[in-house]
């Protein structure tokens, strides 16, 4: 069983389609800065809505399963 707040814990609202950088990074067990670097390098797909950068759930699942490209 995974403890709340630990890497791999799926935050409340897990059924949502788009995840914030902070929630995605926390779920993957990496820093937000590292995730932003991966997004800027094109290794993790993200969408921009206004000023927000969001990671689609299917991309979160892909990275968790396969790692970065």
CB 22 within 8 A of CB 32: yes
* DSSP annotation of 10: P
Within a domain: 5: no
38 in any annotated domain = yes
Q: Indicate whether 8 belongs to any domain.
A: no
- Can you give the pLDDT at residue 1? 41
- pLDDT tens digits, one per residue of 31-52: 999 999 999 999 999 999 999 9
* Number of CB atoms found within 10 A of residue 32's CB: 14
Answer whether residue 10 is part of any domain. no
DSSP 53: E
- One-character DSSP codes across 14-29: TT-SEEEHHHHHHHHT
Question: What is the pTM (predicted TM-score) of this model?
Answer: 0.76
Quick check: is 7 in a domain? no
Q: Count of domains in the chain?
A: 1
């Amino acid at each position: 069983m995974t403890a709340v707040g630990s890497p791999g814990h799926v935050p409340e609202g897990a059924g949502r389609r788009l995840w914030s950088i902070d929630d995605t990074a926390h779920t993957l067990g990496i820093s937000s800065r590292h995730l932003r670097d991966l997004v800027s390098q094109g290794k993790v797909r993200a969408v921009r809505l206004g000023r927000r950068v969001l990671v689609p759930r299917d991309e979160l699942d892909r990275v968790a399963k396969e790692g970065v490209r």
